[in-house]
Chains A and B, each alone.
Chain A
């Protein structure tokens, strides 16, 4: 058996550097690696570029002053359509963006994962993506049709962090919910790859709760694995738990004023560990 890849949130953060481009898995307010996101928020990292199907991961890091640029096609809390911290960061001009179509974003990750410079798509033709995504180019088909298509540029990540339901200490991981989202693509597009899971179990137990198709993240795609029960809280991590809507409302309320954010940050972010967070939230 090769060496364990077990790590803590703080050990993952120690592998990151200011100025990095970091991809975050999940979708909206679903299956976000929030225990690692909070560890980044309380670290001394700065000037990060975040790539995400965005939810509170993006908002919380913007509020904590960690973000220089966001690559995104949406940032939403799902049940609260607009992410309030991202919104204030944008409206006060403190965070730059590179915008994508949802499908184009996945192609940019896929291109990086496949080590090709771009992938062609119709998505984006004629739209204002060409005004908000400077440097976006089209490419002409070399075949007889000669069609012009958008060249979705490879989005290479310095690091990726994702959260799944189960994993083993060698770095295999399993989703048990309804949607794999794009977690394996984020990992494939990144140089340093970190996954947190609800529970680390023996490799022999990986098929106990789901069929082999749920083993979406393979160990050649991971450099470190963190055991973080309720690690996606307050986002959903079905079937282990649904979104904590009342906590999400409290989080959203913390965007109302700098004082409200300071209070939220002191109470829930600036804590020594994920275990302290769970105690503070009242999760056993």
Chain B
């Protein structure tokens, strides 16, 4: 097989976010996270429930980003049902972030002062409800100090500091993992601040530290993000994304 691309490493790093989840709705948003969800179910998390980009729960390995891909439908999940799943906690979403800080607070609403945005983004979307109710992971395809910031301008999804202030009311909050184009991150520090977990092949600790706008926890022995298995590569390349759209999302 030809050399593994950075996008393929990211797909498997996204897939690993769902390891151990069991029979819940995995709701990865964006091309690489969606590929990751499919890989997770096919490789090591067979009970995951996955949807297409409309309102169908699909049991087969789904070609991503293609409207007329063959689907084995196992359920119907219109938006209002998905909200109920979120409130029930039986869901793990992987969202994007325009900004994310050291505690995992996420911003997808606006850049600039509150009420007078320099840049109007999407809005809060479901981020407050997601982060307070169930596991929320993040994928960021352009790791830079503009994204990994000291403080988010607006906290749409809540991080560990805000969840801790809520006490018991924050008991369902969890950010299992952040995947970027440079590495994998978790919050396994005493204060639940962001920690470098693994580096993608070819990336150095310096690369990551330079691209991060806050003080990142860096353990002495940082490992390398695992490579896709041959079977995972075949699945990604031949079944899920034969047009290699993934390689347009992050640099190869």
Interface residue ranges, A against B (CB under 8 Å): 27, 54, 72-76, 81-82, 86-87, 90-91, 93, 99-104, 106, 121-129, 131-132, 147-149, 178-182
* A102 and B114 contact, Cβ closer than 8 Å, known pairs A72-B123, A126-B165, A178-B54: no
Q: Tell me if B119 and A91 are in contact (CB < 8 A).
A: yes
* A128 and B154 contact, Cβ closer than 8 Å, known pairs A75-B123, A81-B122, A180-B78: yes
* A127 and B127 contact, Cβ closer than 8 Å, known pairs A82-B122, A147-B168, A178-B78: yes
Contact size range, B: 35 or more
Q: Tell me if B114 and A125 are in contact (CB < 8 A).
A: no
Give, as a whole number of angstroms, the nearest-CB distance from B122 to chain A.
5
8 Å CB contact of B124 from A87, A129, A180:
A129
Which A residue sits closest to B110, measured CB to CB? A90
Q: Which residues of A contact B155 (CB under 8 A)?
A: 126-128
* Binary contact track B150-170/A, C-beta < 8 Å → 1, others 0: 000011111000110110111
8 Å CB contact of B109 from A76, A99, A103, A122:
A99
Q: Which residues of A contact B56 (CB under 8 A)?
A: 178
Q: Which residues of B contact A127 (CB under 8 A)?
A: 124, 127-128, 131-132, 155-158, 162
Interface residue ranges of B112-131 to A (CB < 8 Å) = 114-129, 131
Q: Tell me if B166 and A102 are in contact (CB < 8 A).
A: no
Instruction: Kindly state the separation between the CA atoms of A4 and B84 in the bound complex, as whole angstroms.
Output: 37
Q: Which residues of A contact B86 (CB under 8 A)?
A: 103
Q: Flag whether B27 is at the interface (Cβ < 8 A).
A: no
* A99 and B123 contact, Cβ closer than 8 Å, known pairs A122-B129, A126-B158, A179-B79: yes
Q: Which residues of B contact A122 (CB under 8 A)?
A: 87, 129, 132-133, 169, 172
Q: Which residues of A contact B117 (CB under 8 A)?
A: 90-91
Instruction: Give the tally of cross-chain contacts (CB within 8 A).
Output: 129
8 Å CB contact of A123 from B109, B119, B129:
B129
Which A residue sits closest to B129, measured CB to CB? A123
Q: Which residues of B contact A179 (CB under 8 A)?
A: 54-55, 78-79
Q: Which residues of B contact A86 (CB under 8 A)?
A: 120
Q: Tell me if B87 and A103 are in contact (CB < 8 A).
A: yes
* A126 and B132 contact, Cβ closer than 8 Å, known pairs A73-B124, A101-B127: yes
Q: Tell me if A128 and B55 are in contact (CB < 8 A).
A: no
Instruction: Kindly state the separation between the CA atoms of A228 and B25 in the bound complex, as whole angstroms.
Output: 37
Instruction: Kindly state the separation between the CA atoms of A121 and B157 in the bound complex, as whole angstroms.
Output: 15
Q: Which residues of A contact B55 (CB under 8 A)?
A: 178-179
Give, as a whole number of angstroms, the nearest-CB distance from A194 to chain B.
22
Q: Tell me if A101 and B124 are in contact (CB < 8 A).
A: yes
Q: Which residues of A contact B124 (CB under 8 A)?
A: 73-74, 99-102, 127, 129, 132
Q: Which residues of B contact A102 (CB under 8 A)?
A: 79, 83, 124-126, 129
